[in-house]
Amino acid sequence: MNIGQAARRSGLSSKMIRYYEAIGLLQPATRSDSGYRTYQTEDLHRLAFIKRSRDLGFSLEEVGKLLTLWQDRERASADVKALAMQHIDELNKRIDELISLRDTLGELVAHCQGDDRPDCPILKDLANGSGCCDQG
C-alpha cells in the first residue's frame, strides 16, 4: 500500500509516517518503480504500536526502547514493566504539576472580581512572574 493508504489505516498522517522513518522508529519503506513508498502489513503493525505508545504518552525515545523490547523475543517482561513503571512515575509528577497549576490559577480566579474595574489579580500575578526580575 502507498503512504496515503498506510496513513488512513494507521490513523497517522503521512508526515508523521515519514518522520518516524527519518528518526528510525520505522524502517525506510521500499520504493515502487515510480519512486513511491510502499508499506507492508508488518509496517502497519509497527505503526499501530508506535501510535498506541504515543497515545499513552511515551516519549519517542521510550517508544524506541519499547519497539526494541517488542522485537526481542528473549527479553524479560520485567524490562518492559520497569520502563512502564518509570513512565507512570513521570506521569504522576506531571499530574501533580498540573494540579498545582490548576489550584494556583483557581486561587487567582477566585480573587478576581470579574467586573468593569481594571484591577485584576490574574494579570498582576502574571506581571510579577516568579521573582526573576527586579521590581525597582
Domain of 46, in residue numbers: 1-56
Inside any domain, residue 64? no
The CATH number of whichever domain residue 5 belongs to comes to 1.10.1660.10
Tell me what pLDDT residue 133 has.
56
Average pLDDT over residues 82-88: 97
Tally of structural domains, the chain: 2
In terms of Cβ atoms closer than 10 Å to its own Cβ (0-12, 13-18, 19+), residue 77 is exposed
Inside any domain, residue 65? no
Average pLDDT over residues 81-87: 97
Regarding whether 52 and 81 lie in a shared domain, the answer is no
Inside any domain, residue 69? no
Regarding whether 81 and 43 lie in a shared domain, the answer is no
Regarding whether 49 and 89 lie in a shared domain, the answer is no
Tell me what pLDDT residue 136 has.
46
Inside any domain, residue 28? yes
Regarding whether 90 and 52 lie in a shared domain, the answer is no
Regarding whether 90 and 47 lie in a shared domain, the answer is no
Of 106, 105, 70, 65, which is closest to residue 86 (Cα–Cα)? 65
Q: What is the DSSP string of the chain?
A: --HHHHHHHHT--HHHHHHHHHTTSSPPPEE-TTS-EE--HHHHHHHHHHHHHHHTT--HHHHHHHHHHHH-TT--HHHHHHHHHHHHHHHHHHHHHHHHHHHHHHHHHHH---SSSS--HHHHHHHHTTS-S---
Tell me what pLDDT residue 114 has.
86
φ/ψ of 55, rounded to 5, equals -60, -30
* pTM, 2 dp: 0.79
Inside any domain, residue 24? yes
Three cell numbers written together for 72: 526481542
Tell me what pLDDT residue 134 has.
53
Tell me what pLDDT residue 132 has.
53
Tell me what pLDDT residue 117 has.
86
> What band does 103 get if pLDDT is binned at 50, 70 and 90?
very high
Average pLDDT over residues 69-93: 96
Q: 20 versus 130: which is more confidently predicted?
A: 20
